[in-house]
Homo-oligomer: A and B are copies of this chain.
Amino acid sequence: MGRTGMERRKRLNLRIKRDLQVWILKRTVFSMIIGMIIGFIILYFFSHRELGETYWQAHITIRRVSDLLVPVMVAAGVAGFLGSLLLLIFFPQKIAGPVYRLERDFVGHLQEGDLTFRFRLRKDDPFQTLPQAINRAVESLQSRVREVARGVEAARKALEEGKVEEARRELQRVEEFLKNNLKF
């Protein structure tokens, strides 16, 4: 942890959190492709019919393909856009959900001094590496606090048994442990 924040930031690149990035890209690109397919089907279907039915009957007024196709293009665009949107509409929630639960569950418990709490995400949530890392850190804090509490109890018991010097040494040990294992 000796490096500074600035140094670390420089190393940030496309390879970080590759799984998460691939997942996001897949989701968005997939919805784009579905939208395009919908648009293409409409466009192709209408352009396939249009000339046969309309053009041969009205070839004097229509001089450009675009005259026929602009409404179809608009229809295809709107349909494709709505198709993509339908797939994308739940995507923000997929990302916001875990962040929400992180703030509410994990941060909430930490705020109350609860180090026994373990953070969990749903199985299909993104950010799956986060709970493991967080829980390992909280576990580590928990064991440090336990060690302090154990020392305090031991010192108090020693005092009650009249072992003053032992209590003093135990307290010194606790102070030493706090200094070396917790930065506060």
**A-side interface residues toward B, CB under 8 Å?**
1, 5, 8-9, 12, 14, 16-17, 20-25, 28-29, 31-33, 35-36, 39-40, 43-44, 47-48, 50-52, 55, 62-66, 68-70, 73, 77, 80-81, 84-85, 88-89, 91-93, 95-97, 99-105, 107-117, 120, 122, 127, 129-130, 133-134, 136-138, 140-142, 144-146, 148-149, 151-153, 155-156, 159-160, 164, 167-168, 171-172, 174-175, 178, 181-184
- At the interface, is chain A mostly helix, strand, loop or mixed? helix
Q: Are B156 and A104 in contact (CB under 8 A)?
A: no
Are the C-beta atoms of A116 and B51 separated by less than 8 Å? no
Shortest distance from the beta carbon of A120 to any chain B beta carbon, whole Å: 7
Task: Output the least CB separation between A157 and chain B (Å).
Answer: 9
Assess the A1–B137 pair: CB atoms within 8 A: no
For A40, what are the chain B residues with a Cβ–Cβ distance below 8 Å? 73, 77
Q: Are B100 and A16 in contact (CB under 8 A)?
A: yes
